[in-house]
Every structure is written in structure tokens, then in C-alpha cells.
Structure 1
Amino acid sequence: MPLCYRQANLNSYPKILELSHSHVSLGDLHGNALKLIYSLIEEGFLHINREDYDILKTIYFKPVQELTEKDLSEFKQIIQKANMSKKRALTLIGDDLADRGQNDYFTLLVLQKLQLEGINLEVLLSNHGVEFIQDYEREQFSGHYDLGAGQGESLWNMYYLIRQNLVDEHEIRTIVEQSYRPLIKALNYTVSLPNELTLFSHAPIGLETVKAIAEKFNLPYLDTHLSDLIKTIEAINSLIQQVLKQNKLARLIKAEGSADLRFPIPLIIPLQRLIWNRALGNELVTRPAGHFKVRFVHGHVGPQSILKNGHEVLPDHENLDNLFGKAPELRKTDSRVEHFSRQSSELTAKELDKLWPDRQ
């Protein structure tokens, strides 16, 4: 599926794109709420005028120590009063929270808005997202993350607001419980009838990882028919939601341990592979048993294409990760910083339900 590349600058009001598609997928957000807002305006989801965008931008880039109660209230009011369009569905590839951005509170306000407005939205489980979930699963937020220095800054800055009594922790926990947690999926998919499925994951994987996760949870893995693979994916997502609601997901994932990221993460720790994998080798399975095609869309690995065994091109894998918004100095596209989204008119699960109501 062609990617929609464009010039971008977070300092300027975004240009609204032509909107002939029905599904949008965005690569790693890097914990950058303004990148999300900018992309939502471009893609026609979020209707915010130039003046309000400039206010959001100014507040977003303020050092956390300089944020005031007035700033937070104004940011929240602009997001809450914005009009939205529900014509398209949205998949976020992950790294939405606990990353290098300014503040998770801002991102949660945007995700809350999308969820309350009924946008067809799914957020993929990711390595940075799990760090946020881990802190949420504690009795109180701590701002702690198991990443390199500064790589979970948006979580720490949110905790700073809590600690300074600028944000009520109860408000954040309510947003997470009602508007963030229900969006989380291990895997997402879209379908081009009659026989093509696009599988979305945060890190690059193949069907071998879907099978390994199913086996971890004692779920049947079937890929003889497209509908069988869909049932497997949905069973995995349903179980992930159950564990999330029990506040045990981060612990379950962390209990698998870690691996050397220079090599493919072993299938015996499939959840770590789902969110952390950076290399693919001979374990990769891209063809299902049945007569249908599977494409793979992921992020996580930076702007380069993923290669099998370090050299073999994988034509059915598509990487959405890019550097745009990953750091304050990367807020504008140039020769090395790209900004793009994946646009399609493939059917989402909700749309498929309407055409295929008895598929369960």
C-alpha cells in the first residue's frame, strides 16, 4: 500500500490532505502528543484552527517545570471543544506513551477525545507503551521506566505534574481505565476482500509470532482460511484485554525476561518479541497454510527497512517508523527526517462485522 509522504513542521499549522481513503495508520509517536495532533489535523480527524494549534504548540514545548494550571486547563479545553470527523479509522503503531516526548498527560487527553467521539481507533501494544502500563499497574504512579536515560521522559514529566498537584492522579487513572486501556491490541488487522489480510504489530514479526503467542495462552492457532487467522488474532487480543483489566500485563511481559536485540528474539518469549524484536531470520513465516495473502506492517526499528538475515528484502513487510518528532530538534522534515502515514481503504474489524455479521 503506498505511503503518503509530505513535508511537515510542528512549528507551523499542518496542511490538510486529500481524504479519499477510509483507514489511516501512523508509525511510532515517540510519546509526542503534538505529532499526534498534527497528524490528526492533516488526516481530517481533528478540526482545530490555526490560533488554537499555536496555543497547543506553545504549551506542549514549555519545559515541564514552567507549566501552570492555566496552561494545562487551556490545553485540555482546546482538545475537548474540537470538532472531529468519524469518516476514517485509525491505527496507532505504538510508542504512544512513556517515550521521549514532552508529557503523557497531553497524549492521554487526545486519546480520550478520540475514544469519547467514537473514532474507530486501535493502539498497538509496544515496548514504550508497556513501560507506561507498568507504572499504571502500581498503586501510585512513580515516573519510573526500565529504559535508557530520557527514553521515558514523557512518563516522568506526567509524574512531575502529579507530584506538583497540577494534575490529579485520579483523573489520569480514569482516562487510562475508560479511554486508553480499551484501545490496546497486541495485533491489529485490516482486510481486502476476498483474500488479503494486513497484520499490524509494533515490532517486525511474522505468523510464527502469532502462533507462539497463541500457544503461550493455550489458544488454537489456525491459518487455513483467512477467517481462521482473524479468529486467532481476536482471541489473542481478547486475552490481552483480560490481563490488562487484571493489572497484570506488564508483569506478564517482563516475566519473560529479555534478549539480545542484535538477533531475532526467540519464540519462547513471544510477547517480548512482539514489542521489542528488531531482527528477522529463518524463523520468519510469512505465508499462511491457506490460499490467502498476508502483509505485515510494523514500526519500532527506525527509518530503515527490515531485512531477513540482514540482507534479504521482505516485500510484504512495511515499516512506518520515522524520526519526525522523536526529539525537539526533529520537529521538521529534511533529507533524513521523513513524515508519512499509511492510507488505505481496507476493511477494519468493525467494518468487516457489518459485511460479515456471522463470521464469529
Structure 2
Amino acid sequence: MAAALIDKLASITARYDELLDLMAQPDVATDPVRLQRYAREQRELEPLVEAYRAYRDVERQIEDTSFLLEHETDQDVRQLAQDELDHLLERRAQLEQQIKVLLLPRDPNDSKNAIMELRQGEGGDEAALFAADLFRMYTRYAEQRGWDIEVISATENGPGGYKEIIFEVRGEGAYSRLKYEGGVHRVQRVPATEARGRIHTSTATVAVLPEVEETDIELNPSDYRVDVFRSGGHGGQGVNTTDSAVRIVYKPGTPEEIVVTCQDSRSQLKNKASALAVLRARLYAREEEKRRKELGETRLAQVGAGERAEKIRTYNFPQDRVTDHRIGQNFSNLPGILDGDLDRLIDMLIIADNAERLESVAAR
């Protein structure tokens, strides 16, 4: 690696060690705010520091093995040393790549919770059922990751289907992984109501937005209207007894109009807070997309920006295959994926995204 990069890694390692010392000091240990701030920074640096220390260890082993190979005369020992050196050189190259990826600029939203919006697309009732399947898939995935899910708003369509469902996923790294799910999802299968056994194609759209703090997006009350009404449908019988549902219309009657409806809680105040959170997330995503276009940035399928212009994934039931079109890869065991086995797909998307970002940095 270049000397400048080594110096940077040494500086990061020194800061990591300094943070460990700071957190051990009594005055910091009794100050929750400072302790949390130092702990967060330390956790963010830890993967890079561990990779750099492993790199230095491999470098020392390469030096020792090269010395042995240079001075050893026994052919059997030389062969063993050569095999070990080949392995170490391969390991060093892997660590170099890992370090470069870890040094890439972080998405500032990666540490945030995620707000997901699922809507039925083409296909009528079958599309609504597919949206419900996707919601169950993300629910199971969140359970496996130890994340919490809270439904913000849901509009049912037929038995067991959703015309639209909006929910929040809370947990460390939620947005950093779920942002790759934004786009059009397509399913090919024989519906339960299909008497002739014909395969139907339906779609559902997924938007993934980072949760936004109130200080990140300033909302002027004069820019939106709040309507309250009696809840119905999803949420149970109890919500129907009061005007607890909330509809927020942002800049009504203009090209910028955004409508958010929340009725899942019995509390009007909670529904209003949830609706405002969704509104802030949508406005933030819109501003981020505008900024990316101005900068000419391209990201893998515009992940996390709510882009729905193309189909990102196909779930083919007859062939037990899931195809992610962004990376051109097929995955088997479709039932397992719909049961929350998403890590193997998302991991491949992260690898492809990192490779694209590294290539972009190298081209500058």
C-alpha cells in the first residue's frame, strides 16, 4: 500500500486506541453523553482498525517467510514456504481491498432507522397479495436481525393483501442494508384463484427512506394541512370509535403536493407524529435525489432513493428462482428468501456497490 495510506491508517489506529483510553477514564464513564459519543466513534473505526492490524500481521509473516525461502536449501521446506507465501500474498491482497472499501465515504444515513413503503403494482388482487408477501419477508428478516417493526399505516385490498403498507424498521444498520430493496419487485406464479394453472406476472413497488430527525428537515406549519377522520380497516375495531386517523397534505394543490395518511394507532397525536415522520423522510429523499442528479452521481440502481423506474428483482415460483437484475445473479430457494433469508442477496449487492464505488474513485 502507498505510504500516504499507511500513514492515514496509523493515524486512525492511534485515534482508536485514544478512544479506548478515554472511555476508561472515570470522568467519561460517569458522563453518558460523552461515553456514548466516544463508543459510537470507536465502533465505527473498529472494522478498519482490525483489518489494518491483520494486514500488518500478514506483512510480518510475508517478510519472515520470504527470508526463509531465500536462505533455505532443503527443497521440501522451500516448497512449503513457497505455498505459505502464495497464501499470504493472496490474503494481503484481500485485506488491501477490504481496507479500501472501509475507507470509502460512508453514507451518513446508514446508521439510521428505515421507513419502508410497499404498494401493489400491476396485477390487481394478486399484486396486493404479493405486497403482503414482501411485508412478511421484511418482517421475518427484521426478526432475524433483531430489529423492531412498527406499522405506520396500512390499506388492505381483498383478503390478505395490501394496496399500501408503510412501516418503520428500527435497529442498528437497518437502513444500510434495506436501502438495496428500493424499486419494483416482480413475481411470476400461478395464483390460487387460477383454475387453468396459468402463470401470472404481478408487481409491487418498494421505497426505502432513512428516518429523518426534525432538525434535518424544517417543516413550516403553513406549508401543510392536517385533516383528522375516523379510522377504518387495518388497526382493529378500537380505532374506529374516535377521529384518530390523520391525513397530512403538504403544499396542497401544487405540483409538489405530498399526501401522507396514518391511522394505525388509536392515538391521534401518535398518528400525526408518524405522518410527519414519513413526510420528512419523503422530503429528505427528494432533496437527496436532486443533489445526486446535480452532482452527476450514479449509484447501484439509485438505491434508497425510492426509484421505481425499473424492475430490480423477479421472484419466479415455477423455477424456484429469484433474479436480481442489477447484478444479473440468480438465487435458489425462493420460499426461504420470502421467509427472510435476504442476507445472501443483500451481501452480493453491497459487494457490487462497493466495487462500483471503488472504480468511480479510481477514475477520478
Structure 2 length-normalised TM:
0.23
Of structures 1 and 2, the larger Rg is shown by 2
Q: Which structure's relative contact order is higher, taking Cα pairs within 8 Å and 6+ residues apart? A: 1
Structure 1 length-normalised TM:
0.23
